[in-house]
Amino acid sequence: MVFARSVEVLAAIWRSAAGYHPGLSKCIEAGADLKRILMVAYHYPPLAGSSGIQRTLRFSQHLPALGWRPLVLSADPRAYVKTSDDLLGDIPEGTVVRRAFALDTSRHLTIFGRYAGWMARPDRWISWRFDGVRQGMQLIREFKPDLIWSTYPIATAHVIAARLHRKSGIPWVADFRDPMAQEGYPSDPLIWNAFRDIEIEASEQARYCVFTTPGAAQDYRQRYPAAAGRTVVVENGYDEESFLGASAKPPGADEHRGPLVMLHSGIVYPSERDPSQLFAALGRLQRDGVLSPGDLLVRFRAAVHDDMLRTMAQEHGAQAFIEVCPSVSYREALAEMMSVDGLLVMQASNCNAQIPAKLYEYLRAGRPILALTDPAGDTAGVLRDAGVPDIVPLDSAEAIAAALPPLVRAWRAGQAELPTPAAVRQASRRERTQQLAELLESAVRT
Domain boundaries, the chain: 2-237+428-445, 242-426
Distance separating alpha carbons of residues 152 and 176, to the nearest angstrom: 5
pLDDT tens digits, 307-344: 999 999 999 999 999 999 999 999 999 999 999 999 99
Q: List CB contacts of 326: < 8 A, sequence separation 6 or more.
A: 301, 302
Distance separating alpha carbons of residues 193 and 198, to the nearest angstrom: 9
* CA nearest neighbour of 309 among 323, 295, 328: 323
CATH 3.40.50.2000 fits 242-426, yes or no: yes
Residue 242 has what pLDDT? 93
Residue 249 has what pLDDT? 65
Residue 245 has what pLDDT? 86
Give the long-range contacts of residues 10-19, CB within 8 A, separation 24 or more.
12/76, 12/78, 12/101, 13/101, 13/131, 16/76, 16/98, 16/99, 16/100, 16/101, 16/131, 16/135, 17/98, 17/131, 17/134, 17/135, 17/138
* CA nearest neighbour of 58 among 42, 47, 44: 44
pLDDT mean values, one per 10 residues, the chain (446 residues):
36 37 42 87 92 93 97 97 92 95 93 87 96 98 98 97 98 96 92 97 98 96 97 96 80 64 94 95 97 97 95 97 94 95 96 94 97 97 96 97 97 94 95 97 92
- Report the relative pairing of strands 68-75 and 35-40 from DSSP bridges: parallel
Residue 251 has what pLDDT? 58
Distance separating alpha carbons of residues 174 and 124, to the nearest angstrom: 20
Residue 250 has what pLDDT? 59
Indicate the average pLDDT of the chain.
90
C-alpha distance from residue 121 to each of 38, 135, 181, 222, 350 (Å) = 24, 21, 13, 26, 24
- Residue-level length of the chain: 446
Residue 22 has what pLDDT? 38
The CATH topology of domain 2-237+428-445 is Rossmann fold (3.40.50)
Q: 3-state DSSP call for residue 303?
A: coil
Residue 14 has what pLDDT? 36
In 26-130, at which residue ranges do the beta strands (DSSP E only) sit?
A: 35-40, 68-75, 96-100
Alpha carbon dihedral 371, 376, 378, 384, in 10-degree steps, equals 60
Residue 368 has what pLDDT? 97
Q: What is the pTM of this model?
A: 0.85
In 51-165, at which residue ranges do the beta strands (DSSP E only) sit?
A: 68-75, 96-100, 147-151
In 88-177, at which residue ranges do the beta strands (DSSP E only) sit?
A: 96-100, 147-151, 172-177
pLDDT tens digits, 163-213: 999 999 999 999 999 999 998 899 999 999 999 999 999 999 999 999 999
DSSP state of 249: P
Give the number of other Cβ atoms within 10 Å of residue 215's Cβ.
21
**Do 2-237+428-445 and 242-426 share a fold?**
yes
